[in-house]
Homo-oligomer: A and B are copies of this chain.
């Protein structure tokens, strides 16, 4: 089955907004075994949208349209679909009433043009809105179908998962449920993971369900995604369970989380479970580690602060680092101890290295020392050689250093 994507909006063509919807939809469709072979951006022009929809339906079984469902005169997705279906638009009283009530519940006056969103092509099925005002649409065209969803990403995603993926699966003659689970890994390349998991993959190939895919995600690591099919969600999850266990048996310590976990959310949670607080000493990253950790609500329970010691004498004066090269094992150890002491934390984590453009202290670009100070244990430092120039090297430093901490916490029982 093939489902292409059409993103509507002149602003997408002019670089004012980047279309991130279509590639997200492509990823979901692929996980459900549906091909998405062409994805198009088109402006708010009725004739052009209609022509494009007709062409797309020549080649594909289905098309998902994102955007153009709003209340203003340039939101013409409804009109374009009606023309392709050869029908008129009629006002749906229930949708109109729901829009009216949404405004009322927020204590706001409803501008009349919002009722444009209550018009639907005759013969279309409505996907009720749960987050905004414009409903989605399922519009049959012969034995094919056009889906329309709002361009707002979180509204689009919710409708896709709730209504469109199940409808596509049913059209595909497939009454089963698809479940997927993503193991987030750090510390091994895609080819390296592939090699280590070869025996598991060979068994998976025989089993056929679930399937496994690697997704390289740059400085977010490599994702290993298991996708299964079964009559119910519970059965689909149960099919994945033993395979997740088999993967963890081989590469367990590389797996830092599942699905929406991030390295920073995982490390904060591990510290929380152990009743430990964290203080940082950052040099090469200039504050990035603290910024990432505090991006997560509730970080304040665990995260005490960071001494960003970019200048050498700040390392000396504030953190008590001794003389000598500051990109070194010794400096990393003294920075970690200093962070723990100055910030009154249970754990001190430090980063000192060379992001470029030039080398420093005789160390090449990509050098990173990560220091780790935990009360009652000897303070240690690890040397890592990272790829990339400046921004990439710094981003990889963040996740690498947090992973050093994570590995150490794995060896420490939760409180």
Given A19-B23, A294-B286, also A305-B303 (CB < 8 A): no
In contact, B310 and A307 (Cβ under 8 angstroms): no
- CA A317 to CA B305, docked complex, whole Å: 12
- CA A42 to CA B60, docked complex, whole Å: 13
Chain A positions 294-342 with a Cβ under 8 Å from a chain B Cβ: 294-295, 297, 299-300, 303-311, 313-314, 317-318, 342
In contact, B15 and A26 (Cβ under 8 angstroms): yes
Chain A interface residue number, banded: 35 or more
Instruction: Decide if A404 is an interface residue (CB 8 Å cutoff).
Output: no
In contact, A41 and B55 (Cβ under 8 angstroms): no
Instruction: Decide if A48 is an interface residue (CB 8 Å cutoff).
Output: yes
Chain A positions 1-48 with a Cβ under 8 Å from a chain B Cβ: 12-20, 22-28, 30, 36-43, 45, 48
- CA A266 to CA B240, docked complex, whole Å: 52
Residues in B whose Cβ lies below 8 Å from that of A55: 55
Residues in B whose Cβ lies below 8 Å from that of A42: 37-38
Residues in B whose Cβ lies below 8 Å from that of A303: 286, 310-311
Residues in B whose Cβ lies below 8 Å from that of A18: 18, 20, 23
Instruction: Decide if A378 is an interface residue (CB 8 Å cutoff).
Output: no
Closest to A36 in B: B13
In contact, A300 and B291 (Cβ under 8 angstroms): no
* Main secondary structure on A side of the interface with B: mixed
Chain A positions 243-292 with a Cβ under 8 Å from a chain B Cβ: 277, 280, 282, 285-291
Residues in B whose Cβ lies below 8 Å from that of A314: 304-305, 343-344
Instruction: Decide if A406 is an interface residue (CB 8 Å cutoff).
Output: no
Residues in B whose Cβ lies below 8 Å from that of A38: 13, 40-42, 48, 52
Instruction: Decide if A391 is an interface residue (CB 8 Å cutoff).
Output: yes
Given A23-B14, A37-B42, A297-B357, also A290-B310 (CB < 8 A): yes
- CA A288 to CA B294, docked complex, whole Å: 9
Instruction: Decide if A293 is an interface residue (CB 8 Å cutoff).
Output: yes
In contact, A311 and B300 (Cβ under 8 angstroms): yes
Closest to A303 in B: B310
How far does the Cβ of A316 sit from chain B's closest Cβ, in whole Å? Answer: 10
Given A287-B282, A314-B305, A394-B295, also A39-B41 (CB < 8 A): yes
In contact, B295 and A291 (Cβ under 8 angstroms): no
In contact, A307 and B304 (Cβ under 8 angstroms): no
How far does the Cβ of A84 sit from chain B's closest Cβ, in whole Å? Answer: 17
- CA A229 to CA B309, docked complex, whole Å: 49
Closest to A48 in B: B37
In contact, A14 and B27 (Cβ under 8 angstroms): yes
Instruction: Decide if A54 is an interface residue (CB 8 Å cutoff).
Output: no
Closest to A223 in B: B16
How far does the Cβ of A79 sit from chain B's closest Cβ, in whole Å? Answer: 18
Residues in B whose Cβ lies below 8 Å from that of A24: 15
- CA A57 to CA B110, docked complex, whole Å: 45
In contact, B13 and A26 (Cβ under 8 angstroms): yes
**A23 touches which of B15, B216, B311, B313 (Cβ 8 Å):** B15
Could you list which residues of chain A lie within 8 angstroms of chain B, going by C-beta atoms? 12-20, 22-28, 30, 36-43, 45, 48, 52, 55, 215-216, 277, 280, 282, 285-291, 293-295, 297, 299-300, 303-311, 313-314, 317-318, 342-344, 356-357, 390-391, 394
Q: List 30 A-B contacts (CB under 8 A).
A: A12-B23, A13-B23, A13-B36, A14-B27, A15-B25, A15-B26, A18-B20, A22-B41, A37-B43, A38-B40, A38-B42, A39-B40, A39-B41, A280-B308, A282-B287, A286-B290, A286-B291, A286-B294, A287-B287, A287-B288, A290-B310, A291-B291, A291-B394, A297-B357, A303-B310, A305-B309, A305-B318, A306-B306, A311-B343, A313-B344
List 16 extra interface pairs beyond A38-B41, A286-B287, CB under 8 A: A15-B25, A16-B23, A18-B18, A19-B23, A37-B45, A38-B40, A38-B48, A286-B294, A286-B299, A287-B289, A287-B291, A287-B306, A294-B394, A303-B310, A304-B311, A307-B318
